[in-house]
Amino acid sequence: MFAVEMLPANEGDALCVEYGDPERPDRILIDCGYEETVPHIVEKLGDGPARAGLELITITHIDNDHIMGALPLFSDPAVDADSVGEVWFNDRSQLLGILGPKEGTLLAKTIADKRLPWNTSFGGAEEPVVVSAEGQPLPVKVLPGGMRLTLLSPGPAQLKKLREKWPAEANKLLNGESAKEQAESEDEGRGILGTESVEDLAKRTFKKAVTPANGSSIAFLAEYADRFDGGRVKSVLFAGDAIEPVLVSSVERLLSERGVPKLKLDALKVSHHGSRGNTSPDLLALLDCPKYLLSSNGSGTEHPNEETIAWILRAPRTTGGGIDLYFNYLTEHNDRWQGDPGEDDYAGHFGQGEFRVEL
């Protein structure tokens, strides 16, 4: 088994990954959304022995819609060193001494006070989760249950940029201004929702969106040889809010390491909730993927952007079959994808805050 469940997180992310034995799966939690997301996480993880399979918690970066639920979750007495295998989180100590926003600082203190295994795959609490320098293999971590994780983001340059921009950027994050600014910049040249054809949308020029916070986002490829499905290797790229140049560079490095022309995936969790500034035609051309996961209710951001979906639908693929688009909310920003696909072979699937995808 290998399943990904998008939990209710408004415009943010909270993903529960389950794999292995369907009766007693191993789990990975990626981000925690907002405080109101926490009951959904707790319900999903279960109590007592059922929670023992939580191998990794990853807080991808310090944007509010990914981290606000983390502090109440980590403050839960049931979240301890016996129930959590490892935590990946870059806070102020890993960002070369910079002062983090309040939530990040309190979360870091909670992780340290509870003596949770923190960034142990990268050298411990004082070391960042970061992609290795060019010329070296990408970092790989194999979890006890057999999930292989290959780190794709962030790079040293992205952490350095966040450090340099820190005081102003931290204030923006605390006030919710960073996401607002990016959403406003993405609105440039946007037409009325649902009026442009997929063909016209796909012709739009990609314009990368690079913010220091999103540049620091953790992203990784997860691969598992499913012993309950004939040993078939299943793979998902969890892109967090990672920026396009870093994802393209890391995927190209991975393809070079493996000597293959495209990265074959079972699913892509689309970066930054389907923002038009994070997923480019160039990135999609490096992938061979039939399933796309988009976590957002569009609040304040209007994600996912229509261009992103159009680029997905028109991306070159070597395998046959249609495209499946999975949204954990049905909103005015994605409802056009539930209708007649026309010449594009796809199906839109919609949840009411959560959606579970079995691979």
- Flag residues of the chain having pLDDT under 50: 96-101, 184-185, 189
The pLDDT value given to residue 107 = 85
Q: What CATH number has the domain spanning 2-358?
A: 3.60.15.10
Total length of the chain:
359
- Residue 308: count of CB within 10 angstroms of its CB: 26
**pLDDT 10s digits, 212-257:** 889 999 999 999 999 999 999 999 999 999 999 999 999 999 999 9
**Which pLDDT value is given to residue 97?**
42
Work out the number of other CB atoms within 10 angstroms of the CB of residue 226: 16
* Tens-place pLDDT, residues 164-182: 765 666 566 656 555 555 5
Cα–Cα dist 245/283, whole Å:
9
* The pLDDT value given to residue 52: 62
8 Å CB contact between 264 and 212: no
Domain ranges (residues) in the chain: 2-358
Other CB atoms closer than 10 Å to residue 172's CB: what's the count?
19
Between CA 140 and CA 148 the distance in angstroms is 7
pLDDT of residue 214: 92
